[in-house]
């Protein structure tokens, strides 16, 4: 039995773009991935709304700094064969980071944590699949438009930055924006069709990594 951890934010959690709730379980990309891979693999979804790569969000009552919670996630779900990290959207908030270079550094920190965590029972670090999220889009919704005002253009640079980071660290890379686009309703989140598309597209990559 292989185990895959999907570590992400609201795009992994399944936030509906109109703010009405959460996508049905079968529409969220980790569950779509599970369905594609079958019973030989367990896919664990760990998505927190607002989670960043490695930056604090002092406006939230939750610990949204992905670097501060990653070790606990790894310790909870080990032994792991693969971790898929799709974070960076919330780093684009003006008051968080707001630029692709800083977000790349955050992803590099997450890679470092995965590889240096003191796993119990002599467990080995999992392989790492770095996924860049779909770029932010223009929206007329005032809340998201102002929150991500300077991040839309920067988010379009993120795939290339993440690809470089993954190549340097010897990780696998996939650009989720190559198969999915954000909804114009808020310019940030995915409708059901697009989140399903990520799960379907990443499945053959995961099969290759796990030698399935």
pLDDT tens for 127-176 read 999 999 999 998 766 677 778 888 899 999 999 999 999 999 999 999 99
SS3 assignment, position 4: strand
What local confidence, expressed as pLDDT, does residue 142 receive? 67
Percentage, residues of the chain above pLDDT 90: 92
Please tell me the total count of domains within the chain: 1
Q: pLDDT digits over 36-58, tens only?
A: 999 999 999 999 999 999 999 99
Which residue, 43, 56, 48, is CA-closest to 8? 48
Tokens of 137: 């889009």
Helix (H, G, I), strand (E, B), or coil: what is residue 198? helix
The CATH number of residue 203's host domain is: 3.40.50.1110
Q: What is the pTM of this model?
A: 0.96
User: What's the pLDDT tens digit per position in 176-207?
Assistant: 999 999 999 999 999 999 999 999 999 999 99
CA nearest neighbour of 74 among 110, 38, 37: 110
The parent domain of residue 89 ranges over: 2-210
In which residue are the tokens 């995915």 written?
190
End-to-end Cα spacing for the chain: 11
Q: What is the pLDDT of residue 38?
A: 97
> Are residues 128 and 169 in contact, defined by beta-carbon separation less than 8 angstroms?
yes
**Average pLDDT for the chain:** 96
The pLDDT assigned to 143 comes to: 73
Q: What is the DSSP string of 11-26?
A: HHHTB-TTSS-B--GG
């Amino acid at each position: 039995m292989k185990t895959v951890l999907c570590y992400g934010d609201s795009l992994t959690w399944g936030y509906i773009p109109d703010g009405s709730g959460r996508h049905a379980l079968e529409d969220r990309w980790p569950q779509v991935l599970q369905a594609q891979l079958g019973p030989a693999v367990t896919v664990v979804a760990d998505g927190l709304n607002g989670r960043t790569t490695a930056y604090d969000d002092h406006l939230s009552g939750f610990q949204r700094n992905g670097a501060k919670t990653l070790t606990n996630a790894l310790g909870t779900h080990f032994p792991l064969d693969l971790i898929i990290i799709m974070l960076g959207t919330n780093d684009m908030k003006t008051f968080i980071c707001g630029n692709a270079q800083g977000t790349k550094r955050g992803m590099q920190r997450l890679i470092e944590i995965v590889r240096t965590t003191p796993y119990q029972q002599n467990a080995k670090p999992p392989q790492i699949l770095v996924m860049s999220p779909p770029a932010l889009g223009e929206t007329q919704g005032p809340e998201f438009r102002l929150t991500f005002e300077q991040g839309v253009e920067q988010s379009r640079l993120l795939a290339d930055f993440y690809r470089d980071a993954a190549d340097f660290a010897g990780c696998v890379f996939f650009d989720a924006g190559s198969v999915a686009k954000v909804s114009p309703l808020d310019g940030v989140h995915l409708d059901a069709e697009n989140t399903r598309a990520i799960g379907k597209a990443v499945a053959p990559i995961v099969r290759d990594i796990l030698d399935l």
